[in-house]
A and B are shown apart, each in its own frame.
Chain A
Amino acid sequence: MSRWGKFFLQCMVLILFMGVIQDAYGAEGVQEAARTGAQLAWWMWPIILFVFTFVLGILAVVAGVGGGVLFVPIVSSFFPFNLDFVRGAGLLVALSGALSAGPGLLRRGLANLRLALPMALIASLCSIFGAMVGLALPTNIVQTALGGTIIAIVFIMATAKRSDFPEVEKPDALSSALRISGIYFEESVGKEIDWQIHRTPQGLALFVLIGFMAGMFGLGAGWANVPVLNLLMGAPLKISVATSVFLLSITDSAAAWVYVNKGAVLPLIAVPSILGMMMGTRIGVKLLAKAKPKAVKWMVVSILFLAGLRALLKGLGIWG
């Protein structure tokens, strides 16, 4: 079966599953369940969130999808928290993941400081404005935009091609002036790879949009960083992925301040989520050797699509 076939089959199963729940409780029953959920003993919630994000962390690593991008749509779909607090927690989840991985990637020479800094400067500034806009707009508009964005992300994940070693014949003037280039040892081919980049101004322009969206939706932005660094600017795939992780630690940090200052970070939601995601990620790395990443990836992408669809329909007032 083609991957699109598998994707639609999994979506149908998930939609049927959600439909069974809706039928069992009725639309009002689901709303009531959310309200009753809010009456659970308060200490149950950090435990539920921890377990949920722990599983999400495992799935994120095995599927090769950023935990930050999964957190906001899925938690806002299945938990009774306002989107403002979910986005605040989502940024901290993405930030803590990036901070954990960043130092190792920098030391191994996979994340590149000279490549990341100009992009981070633009993206972090724009993420602040994105966060401000996100907190100022009515929830239904942000929810609708989030749903549309998540569906677009699913499309990008499903269709984007990757290039291990893109050909860059000549670096552009800006990247030459900034001396953005490097060399790393590629284990898969057993040799040193020299790399340089091109189309830096176009890349910087796209980071305006990436930063804005990261701040507005509280999402990690690896899904956008990697194609821009790899396909547009011509950085090798490994350098792009690692630099993207490091970039997140700067972009999300700027946006996180807006949420912290506005009071949109509730430790009761954020801390168990950060801990759950980090521990899940560590277990996921260990399971990676035994798991079937392709099957898990399609399952995660299907859940993400459903969460995006639910956010879109919720925002439009059609579902929930």
Chain B
Amino acid sequence: MNKLKPSEEQLRFASVLQTISLGSLGILLIGFVVYVSGILPSFVPVSKIPQYWGLRVDEFIEKAGMPTGWHWVPLLNHGDMVALIGVVLLAATSMLSFIMILPTFLKKKDTSYSVIVVLQIIILLLAASGMIVGE
């Protein structure tokens, strides 16, 4: 056995991370092109964004009527919401990678790291759900 070779779970994590992050970046770029090209109408017109970006986020949400949490999902017929898909996927990449490698740790009966990975998934899921920030 080559002792310099990284562990099975490390190689699997690298592979999953690369696949998902490349996909997320591709979708981020496509979503942005859809947004700025005006193919779909925007919930907040892109030309008006410069009027809002000097405001604090709470003021921006209130004045522009932007959705928070996951309330943007039903509005996916808008270009600015489509642009958020790539952002969300980018933020979700680590969580999805952890979910994919958990079986490897469980199969190896690596209890301590299985627990760490499960806790990490719970933390990232809670953050993603918006429950922690009350959205």
> Which of these, A40, A121, A271, contacts B32 with CB under 8 Å?
A271
Q: Which residues of A contact B14 (CB under 8 A)?
A: 102-104, 106-107
Min CB distance B68 to A, Å, is 5
Interface string of A261-289 (1 = CB under 8 A from B): 11111111111101100100000000000
B128 lies within 8 A of A139 (CB)? no
Cβ-closest chain B residue relative to A118? B116
A117 lies within 8 A of B50 (CB)? no
Min CB distance B135 to A, Å, is 5
B10 lies within 8 A of A262 (CB)? no
A-B contact count (CB 8 A): 186
Q: Which residues of A contact B54 (CB under 8 A)?
A: 38, 80-82
Q: Which residues of A contact B13 (CB under 8 A)?
A: 106, 113
B49 lies within 8 A of A42 (CB)? yes
B80 lies within 8 A of A262 (CB)? no
Q: Which residues of A contact B86 (CB under 8 A)?
A: 271
| Chain A positions near chain B (C-beta within 8 angstroms) | 38-40, 42-43, 45-46, 80-82, 84-85, 88, 92, 95-96, 99-100, 102-104, 106-109, 112-114, 117-118, 120-121, 124-125, 128, 132, 135, 139, 177-178, 183-185, 192, 249-250, 253-258, 260-272, 274-275, 278
Min CB distance A86 to B, Å, is 9
Q: Which residues of B contact A39 (CB under 8 A)?
A: 50
Interface string of B25-40 (1 = CB under 8 A from A): 1001101100110000
Min CB distance A109 to B, Å, is 5
30 cross-chain CB contacts under 8 A: A38-B53, A46-B36, A88-B57, A92-B91, A95-B91, A99-B21, A99-B94, A106-B10, A106-B11, A106-B17, A107-B14, A113-B6, A113-B9, A114-B7, A121-B120, A124-B124, A132-B132, A192-B4, A249-B17, A249-B93, A253-B124, A254-B124, A258-B127, A258-B133, A261-B130, A262-B68, A268-B53, A269-B53, A271-B32, A272-B32
Q: Which residues of A contact B130 (CB under 8 A)?
A: 257, 261
| Chain B positions near chain A (C-beta within 8 angstroms) | 3-7, 9-11, 13-15, 17-18, 21, 24-25, 28-29, 31-32, 35-36, 46-47, 49-51, 53-57, 60-61, 66-70, 80, 83-84, 86-88, 90-95, 112-113, 116-117, 119-120, 123-124, 126-128, 130, 132-133, 135
Complex Cα gap A88–B83 (Å): 15
Min CB distance B4 to A, Å, is 6
Q: Which residues of A contact B24 (CB under 8 A)?
A: 99
A139 lies within 8 A of B50 (CB)? no
Cβ-closest chain B residue relative to A183? B3
A270 lies within 8 A of B133 (CB)? no
* Known contacts A45-B50, A82-B53, A109-B5; A254 and B90 CB within 8 A of each other: no
Min CB distance A272 to B, Å, is 8
Complex Cα gap A275–B25 (Å): 9
Min CB distance B69 to A, Å, is 5
